[in-house]
């Protein structure tokens, strides 16, 4: 092993890890675990699953080190592994109580604003715990693919191009998924705005 | 990484809500992730350094085959007499002393095969030997 793992940059650590150096890989985990855990946490909305998937993500990364071509940074690469792992888990769970908007019978004009059109529900104040529960519930109703673009765009501030590259689809697909995901969230959270 | 798209102002309210309330609990024991991942990696390492099981079996099979061949050769060298199969003339059950035919149209010739391991009796002049014709 060459440099001190704590001072070496990611690419040097990556080279060492590819040679079987677990100490270097340990340092890479330490550097990226927080971001990966947060990303997965937004996606799966469950602390235990987020922890398990974070571990699984790094194990997958270790097992795929030989196939990593180095075109992207380690951070982007492991982030992509995390997204795929989270989408896989969400699909396995099948926790979508409702069909997606574009697949259902609700027609949306592509030119329309993403303003909710559902009837307003009157309310008289609502606490933070309830707001969080409502948001979690609404978020859980998004499909795994929609949830992924929503997290990448709204929580992690990625551009459309970066999202397209990250999840391996076209720019149009990203925009479409984001449009429907926003529309659905706004519909589901419409009455919450009124109650606040 | 900010996007330049102009978002719907109505969406901004929802986005604000999401950012404020869509939270992930803090990672309380982050080193736990490292230890679990490294434990899994190190558990797999010895298996990877070992040759695949099927290849190991093939090598073992080849060695076993070679050992059996050597053992068989040793047994045959020790227990089988070197001159087995070579017998003296007196040990034969019958012997062709003379070959001649009683019928004038027949001719009989005998050939000894190499190593005196047998005799071929060659009969010419008849498609078959009649049943009542004694062969001596």
Please state which CATH class domain A128-195 belongs to.
Answer: mainly alpha
pLDDT band at A125 (very low <50, low <70, confident <90, very high): low
pLDDT recorded at residue A114: 41
pLDDT recorded at residue A152: 95
**Residue A109: is its pLDDT beyond 80?**
no
In terms of CATH architecture, what is A10-93? Orthogonal Bundle (1.10)
pLDDT tens readout for residues A24-38: 999 999 999 999 999
Give the residue from A143, A152, A124, A132 showing the smallest Cα distance to A183: A143
Give ipTM to 2 decimals.
0.74
- Alpha carbon distance B6, A174 (integer Å): 16
**Residue B6: is its pLDDT beyond 60?**
no
Percent of chain A with pLDDT over 90: 56
pLDDT band at A104 (very low <50, low <70, confident <90, very high): very low
- Alpha carbon distance B118, B121 (integer Å): 10
Q: Average pLDDT in the B79-88 region?
A: 63
**Residue A107: is its pLDDT beyond 70?**
no
**Residue B76: is its pLDDT beyond 50?**
yes
Instruction: Tell me the C-alpha to C-alpha distance, in Å, between residue A152 and each of A78, A96, B53.
Output: 14, 20, 44
- Alpha carbon distance A77, A79 (integer Å): 5
- Alpha carbon distance A110, A179 (integer Å): 9
pTM recorded for the entire structure: 0.61
- Alpha carbon distance A56, A33 (integer Å): 11
Who has greater pLDDT, B96 or A99? B96
From the list A50, A113, A162, the residue facing B8 with the nearest CB is A113
Residue located via tokens 């397209």: A164
pLDDT tens readout for residues A143-167: 999 999 999 999 999 999 999 999 8
Does B13 lie at the interface with A, CB-CB under 8 angstroms? yes
- Crossing angle of the two packed helices A47-63 and A22-44, in degrees rounded to 10: 140
**Residue B71: is its pLDDT beyond 90?**
yes
Distance (Å) from the alpha carbon of A105 to chain B's nearest alpha carbon: 23
Domain range list for chain A: 10-93, 128-195
From the list A41, A114, A135, the residue facing B17 with the nearest CB is A135
pLDDT band at B91 (very low <50, low <70, confident <90, very high): low
- Alpha carbon distance B134, B102 (integer Å): 10
C-beta atoms of A59 and B42 within 8 A: no
Burial of A44 (0-12, 13-18, 19+ CB in 10 A): buried
Helix (H/G/I), strand (E/B), else coil: B123: strand
Burial A55-88 (b: 16+ CB within 10 A, else e): bbbbbebbeebeebeeeeebeebbbbbbbbbbbe
Alpha helices by DSSP H, A70-143: 74-93, 128-140
**Residue B57: is its pLDDT beyond 80?**
no
- Alpha carbon distance A78, B96 (integer Å): 93
Instruction: Copy the structure tokens of residue B42.
Output: 């190190």
pLDDT recorded at residue A72: 87
Q: Cβ of B135: how many Cβ atoms within 10 Å?
A: 8
From the list A22, A29, A42, the residue facing B33 with the nearest CB is A29
Does A41 lie at the interface with B, CB-CB under 8 angstroms? yes
C-beta atoms of B14 and A193 within 8 A: yes
pLDDT recorded at residue B67: 93
Give the residue from B41, B61, B64 showing the smallest Cα distance to B53: B61
Distance (Å) from the alpha carbon of B69 to chain A's nearest alpha carbon: 43
Handedness of CA A46, A51, A56, A57 (dihedral sign): positive
């Amino acid at each position: 092993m060459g440099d001190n793992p704590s001072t070496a940059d990611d690419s040097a650590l990556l080279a060492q890890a590819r040679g079987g150096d677990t100490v270097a890989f340990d340092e890479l985990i330490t550097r990226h675990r927080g971001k990966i855990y947060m990303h997965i946490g937004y996606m799966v909305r469950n602390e235990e699953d987020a922890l398990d998937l974070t571990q699984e993500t790094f194990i997958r990364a270790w097992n795929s080190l030989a196939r990593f071509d180095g075109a992207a940074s380690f951070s982007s690469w492991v982030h992509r592994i995390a997204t795929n792992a989270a989408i896989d888990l969400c699909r396995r769970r099948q926790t979508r109580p409702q069909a997606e908007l574009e697949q259902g019978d609700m027609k949306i004009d592509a030119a329309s604003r993403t303003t909710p059109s559902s009837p307003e529900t009157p309310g008289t104040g609502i606490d933070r715990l309830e707001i969080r529960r409502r948001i979690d519930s609404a978020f859980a109703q998004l499909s795994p693919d929609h949830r992924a673009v929503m997290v990448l765009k709204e929580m992690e501030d990625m551009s459309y191009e970066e999202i397209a590259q990250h999840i391996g689809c076209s720019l149009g697909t990203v925009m479409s998924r984001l449009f429907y995901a926003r529309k659905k969230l706004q519909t589901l959270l419409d009455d919450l705005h009124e109650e606040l | 990484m900010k996007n330049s798209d102009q978002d719907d102002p109505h969406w901004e309210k929802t986005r604000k809500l999401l950012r404020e309330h869509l939270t992930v609990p803090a990672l309380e024991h982050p080193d736990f992730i490292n230890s679990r991942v490294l434990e899994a990696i190190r558990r797999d390492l010895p298996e990877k350094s070992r040759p695949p099981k099927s290849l190991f079996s093939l090598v073992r099979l080849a060695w076993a085959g070679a050992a059996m061949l050597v053992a068989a050769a040793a047994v045959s060298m020790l227990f089988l007499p070197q001159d087995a199969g070579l017998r003296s003339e007196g040990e034969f059950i019958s012997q062709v002393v003379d070959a001649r035919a009683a019928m004038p149209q027949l001719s009989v010739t005998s050939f000894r095969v190499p190593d005196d391991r047998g005799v071929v009796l060659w009969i010419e002049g008849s498609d078959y030997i009649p049943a009542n014709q004694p062969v001596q």
